[in-house]
Amino acid sequence: MSMADYGKTFGLLRTGAGQTWTDYTYHAFVEGLKDGSLPRESFLHYLVQDYVFLVHFARAWSLGVVKSETQQEMRVCAQTVDALVNHEMSLHVKTCAAAGIDESALFNAAEADANLAYTRYVLDAGVQGDFIDLIAALAPCVMGYGEIGVRLASDKSADTPYAEWIATYADPDYQAVCATVGEMLDDAVARRIGDLKISPRRAAVQARFTKATALEVGFWQMGLSPQ
């Protein structure tokens, strides 16, 4: 299977993240979704936390609207906020409702530390830095799930109960968001930095990306241990 192409900058940062990227995209939680061995309790715990995650993630993407310098950047960020708030979150609401957890319980869920650490790290990257710092911290979330979705859609066990979760991220609509964000990241780097490979900013941008990837690993880990 050919790997999805989310752009040159993403490819460079992904390679730069090394083993941390593998730890994220092949985490035991992910493998449990693939073969169906993930306990339902862990999945629901994850899903409630992920709803809270998406609330803050949408706030971070809204900051992208604030920090954008071109119409394309503003349009992509606004579109991503829409995709998160009006599409991705409905999967969480629907799956949780089927398990007897209503939307107000989701909105009021106590936030796990790993969740708080991740989203506030991303928000701070955007508050402290420029548009590139923000998108470098947001990219692992968007594209990582895109990559996981595509791989699991082709490798999953026929009887995994998590097929709907997998389908959400393998879906052409979600893949289109990943491709659009990747293209925007390439354009944003070309506009502000030029060639990232030889830029003095490279290490700092990579550090944002790798830290966000490590925080994704922590998020899966949190999902594995329901309190």
Q: Give the nearest residue (CB) to ligand HMH.
A: 141
Residues lying near ligand HMH in the complex (CB under 6 A) are found at 50, 53-54, 88, 141, 145, 216, 219
Which lies closer to ligand HMH via its Cβ, residue 123 or residue 141?
A: 141
Give yes or no for a contact between 4 and 147, defined as CB atoms under 8 angstroms apart: yes
Q: Based on the residue annotation, tell me whether 77 is a catalytic residue of this protein.
A: no
Among 77, 96, 141, 178, which one carries the catalytic annotation?
141
Give yes or no for a contact between 214 and 221, defined as CB atoms under 8 angstroms apart: no
Burial class (CB in 10 A: 0-12, 13-18, 19+), 185: buried
CA-to-CA dists, residue 103 to 92, 99, 106, angstroms: 9, 12, 5
Closest separation between CB of residue 194 and ligand HMH, Å? 29
CA distance 169 to 162: 12
Which lies closer to ligand HMH via its Cβ, residue 73 or residue 216?
A: 216
Which lies closer to ligand HMH via its Cβ, residue 83 or residue 188?
A: 83
Token pair for 38: 């993930």
Q: Based on the residue annotation, tell me whether 69 is a catalytic residue of this protein.
A: no
Closest separation between CB of residue 13 and ligand HMH, Å? 16
Residue-by-residue DSSP string for 90-152: HHHHHHHHHTT--HHHHHTPPPPHHHHHHHHHHHHHHHHS-HHHHHHHHHHHHHHHHHHHHHH
Which lies closer to ligand HMH via its Cβ, residue 73 or residue 88?
A: 88
Closest separation between CB of residue 141 and ligand HMH, Å? 4
Closest separation between CB of residue 29 and ligand HMH, Å? 10
Catalytic residue ranges: 141, 216
